[in-house]
A and B are shown apart, each in its own frame.
Chain A
C-alpha cells in the first residue's frame, strides 16, 4: 500500500471540508442537537424514575457513543457519495490506486470527519449537563475503536451497495443505522428485547459495548472479556465488509457500471 496515495485521497476530502464552512457546520450541528435532545429527555427521566441513579449520564453517554458510530458510518458513505455526486468516479477508478488504498483512505478520513462533529458535542455536555464521557476512562478507547470498526463496516456495506446498484442505493445509506439501532440496545438493557431477538442482538457488537458502558457507569465495573468480544465481532464484520466490497467492485466491472457513474 502506498501512504502517499492514501494521503492524496484523504487530502481530497480534507480540502472539501476546509473549503466549505456550511460543511463544517453541518458536521457539528447534528451531534450537538442530539446532545441537547437527549440531555433534556434524560433530565426528565431523572426527575421521574428511580431506575438509575445517574440517568442523564447513562443516556447521554449512550447518545454520544451511538452518534460516534452513526457519524463514522455516515462519514464513510458521504465521502463515497461525494465521488458519485461530483462525477469523479471514473477518474478515481482509472487512477493507479489499489482498492485497499481506497478503503484505507476512506477509513482514515472518516475518523477526521467524525471527530469534527463529535468532540464539540462531547465537550458541550460537560458544562451543560455535567456529563463527561471521558469518565469512562481507558475502556472508552476500546469502546470507541470497536464502534468505529463497526461503523466503518456498515459504511463498507453501503458503499458496496452503491457500487452494485448505483446512486439509487443512496437512501439505504441514510437508513442503514436506524435499522440496527433497536437491536443495539443503546438506551435500554438487552432484557427488554424478546428472547429470540436477544439472540440476534448478541450477534452484533453493539449490545456488548452498550451493556459494558452501562456496567461501567452504573456499577463502576469493567468486564474486559465483553469489550474484547465486541472488538472481535466488529473485526469479523469488518473483514466480511471488505470481502463484500471487493465482490461488488468486481461485479461492477463485469456489468460495466464503473464507467460514467454519476447523478
Chain B
C-alpha cells in the first residue's frame, strides 16, 4: 500500500503540533519518522491512524482518502504497535489475540494465531495473563496483535523501546524477515538510530511540527557531514531547520 500525506496540519487551540507536512511511503518500503520528543511524530501518526482529525490536509492510502466513510475499510488493512499502549492485562495472551483477530475480521483465526505464536515464540506464555508478562514478552505479544490481520500498512512507534539488546535484536530481525516475505509498507517512529539505519529505506526528520529534512540514511549523513545517523540527528535536532 502506498501512503501519501499532503499538507497535513494539526492545531490544538493556539499550538500548531503539525505544521504543513507532506510525505510519501512507496508500497513495500519503510519510512523512518525521526525527531526529538514533542516534535509532532505521535500526532502525525494519530492522524494517519484516524484517531485525530487533521485541521487541514489530506491522508491517502492507495489513493483512497482516510475520511469517515472509508475508515473501516482502510483500518482493516492497517495496524499499529507501540509500547505506550497495551492489551487488556487480565486476559491471557491467546484470549487477546483471539479478540483482536475477530475485531479485524480474520478468517482462519486459529491458523493465524498459531503462525504468529510460532514465529514470535509466544508458546511458553500463551496461557498467561498479559499483565504478568515481562516487557520483552509483552512487546512480542503487541507485535503479534499488530500483525494479526496481515496488515498492508504498519505503524510502529518505538517498537523496541525499553527492550534489552537481545529482544530488541530479535524484534528487528523478525520485522526484517516478515517484510521480506510479505507485502508490507511501514512507517517507523524511533529514537534508536541503528534500528532506523537497519530497517528504513528513507527518513523524514521532524522538528517543531515541521519536516526539516528527508532522504536516505546515507544521503542525510553525507549532506550534514557526519559519520553516522545519530550525529546527524543531533545536528538537525540542535541546529536550525534546513528547509527554513
Contacts and interface: CB of A to CB of B under 8 A. Distances in A.
B135 interface: no
B91 to A, nearest CB: 5
Interface residues of B, number: 39
A256 interface: yes
Contacts of A94: 49-51, 75, 78-80
Interface string A2-16: 101101110110011
A130 to B, nearest CB: 40
Contacts of B87: 86, 88, 91
A95 B145 CA distance: 11
Contacts of B78: 94
Contacts of B95: 12, 15, 19
B90 A86 contact: yes
B43 A256 contact: yes
Given A4-B105, A260-B85, A91 B52 contact: no
A229 interface: no
A7 B101 CA distance: 12
Contact of A259 (B51, B71, B105, B129): B51
A88 B72 contact: no
* Most chain A CB atoms below 10 A, which of B85, B89, B104: B85
A102 to B, nearest CB: 10
Given A19-B91, A20-B90, A256-B52, A97 B103 contact: yes
B1 to A, nearest CB: 15
Interface in B106-141: 129
Contacts of A16: 88, 90-91
A254 B53 contact: yes
B75 A15 contact: no
B189 to A, nearest CB: 13
A98 B99 contact: no
B46 interface: yes
Interface in A5-54: 5, 7-9, 11-12, 15-16, 19-20
Contact of A87 (B73, B86, B99, B103): B86
B102 A5 contact: yes
A20 B89 CA distance: 12
B58 interface: no
A9 B88 CA distance: 12
B52 A5 contact: no
Contacts of B10: 256
A97 B71 CA distance: 9
Interface string A71-115: 000000000001100111111011111100000000000000000
Contacts of B91: 12, 15-16, 19
Given A95-B104, A96-B71, 8 more contacts: A5-B105, A11-B98, A15-B91, A91-B86, A94-B51, A95-B100, A98-B72, A256-B52
Interface of B: 10, 12, 17, 42-43, 46, 49-53, 71-73, 75-76, 78-80, 82, 84-92, 95, 98-100, 102-105, 129, 145
Interface of A: 2, 4-5, 7-9, 11-12, 15-16, 19-20, 82-83, 86-91, 93-98, 250, 253-256, 258-260, 262
